[in-house]
Amino acid sequence: MARKIGLRLKKLREISRFSLDFAAKSVGISKQTLFKYENDKITNIPSDKIKELARLYQTSPAYIMGWEDDPAVQKESNENHAPTAPSLPNPAPISLNFKTVLGANDLAKALTVADEAFSPRIRKGDTAFVTSLYKDENLNPNRSILAIQAVDQNGIKTPDTIVLRFFYYTPDLKGIVTYAPSYVPEAFPPVFYPFEYLNEEMPVIGIVRSISFNIF
């Protein structure tokens, strides 16, 4: 039974295309601990962690435990699929609870898209028009597009450039996970942002409102 649990946890994470580090952070454990779960070095996994992992991977605790053979949510390994956000207790539209660079009184800002995460609909070099949330507006996880400050290979911010990402709230509601719709694990991995980091470093510029496409 224990071996089945470890194998299922590893397979679910790989199908979800989550790194060991990302999945571990999402449920509040170290990547070393998750590695031990997946390789049966730890077999008495706490029930609350089984539930959180099930929620993260969109399946049931019973499936992880090996008590049933059919996962609650079917997953596909199609490389063109985005990672599916888990079913969370937070409502679909939710008021913004982290800061953005653009404030309520700022005008829309034209910024250059820095990668191909939304390709082919939005390409590198296209212009995104970005604002803060409007008054009384709510964010829609998995629908609202965040404009996130782009950085170079050394982690240095590149002026007036952004990457576009969907997002969802983590199961413990302690942060967000950003991801790309044309998800390729090596190129556009999901990123976990704790609320503390979002409010201190403010990597989110604002919300994407429209796109101006380059035709050449």
Give this prediction's pTM. 0.58
Contacts of 179 (CB under 8 A, 6+ apart): 82, 83, 85, 165, 166, 167, 168, 188, 190, 191
- The confidence score (pLDDT) of residue 3 equals 60
Where is pLDDT greater, at 104 or 102? 102
> Is residue 147 assigned to a domain?
yes
Q: Are residues 126 and 187 in the same domain?
A: yes
Tell me the β-bridge partners of 164.
147
Instruction: Choose the final residue of a domain: 33, 65, 97.
Output: 65
Please indicate, yes or no, whether residues 121 and 201 belong to a single structural domain of this protein: yes
Question: Is residue 188 domain-shared with residue 127, that is, in the same domain?
Answer: yes
Instruction: With respect to residue 93, please indicate whether it lies within any of the assigned structural domains.
Output: no
As for how many domains the chain has, the answer is 2
> Which comes out higher in pLDDT, residue 155 or 112?
112
pLDDT digits (tens, 9 = 90+) for 39-48: 989 989 999 8
Scan for tokens 């964010």, then name that residue.
139
Whether residue 95 is contained in a domain is answered as no
Q: Which residue has the higher pLDDT, 125 or 189?
A: 125
pLDDT tens, position by position, 139-150: 788 888 999 999
Residue 168 inside a domain? The answer is: yes
Between the CA atoms of 86, 47, 26 and 69, what dihedral angle is there, to the nearest 10 degrees?
-40
Is residue 88 one of the residues assigned to a domain?
Answer: no
Residue 79 covered by a domain: no
Q: How many other C-beta atoms lie within 10 A of the C-beta of residue 190? A: 24
Q: What is the CATH number of the domain that holds 48?
A: 1.10.260.40
Examine the domain organization and report whether 118 and 204 are in the same domain: yes
**Same domain for 57 and 114:** no
Q: Looking at residue 17, what is its pLDDT?
A: 66
Strands 109-113 and 157-169: parallel
Give residue 114's Cα distance to chain centre: 18
Considering the domain architecture, whether residues 54 and 131 belong to the same structural domain is answered as no
Residue 29, domain member (yes or no): yes
pLDDT per position as a tens digit, 6-23: 999 998 887 766 778 878
pLDDT of residue 52: 86
Predicted confidence (pLDDT) per residue in 47-78, tens digit: 989 988 888 777 888 889 888 877 654 434 33
Same domain, residue pair 58 and 142: no
Q: d(Cα 189, Cα 177) in Å, to the nearest integer?
A: 10
What is the pLDDT, as a whole number, of residue 186?
60
Average pLDDT, stretch 172-201? 80
Range of the domain at 207: 109-212
Say whether both 54 and 140 belong to one domain.
no
| 197 and 128 both lie in a single domain | yes
What is the spatial distance between Cα 54 and Cα 61, in angstroms, rounded to a whole number? Answer: 5
pLDDT at 71: 67
CA end-to-end distance (rounded Å), the chain: 58
- The pLDDT of residue 215 is 62
Q: Is residue 70 part of a domain?
A: no
Q: What is the DSSP string of 43-80?
A: ----HHHHHHHHHHTTS-HHHHHTS-SS-SS-----TT
For residue 191, the Cα-to-chain-centroid distance in whole angstroms is 5
Three-class secondary structure of residue 192 per DSSP: strand
Mean pLDDT of 181-205: 80
| pLDDT tops 70 at residue 204 | yes
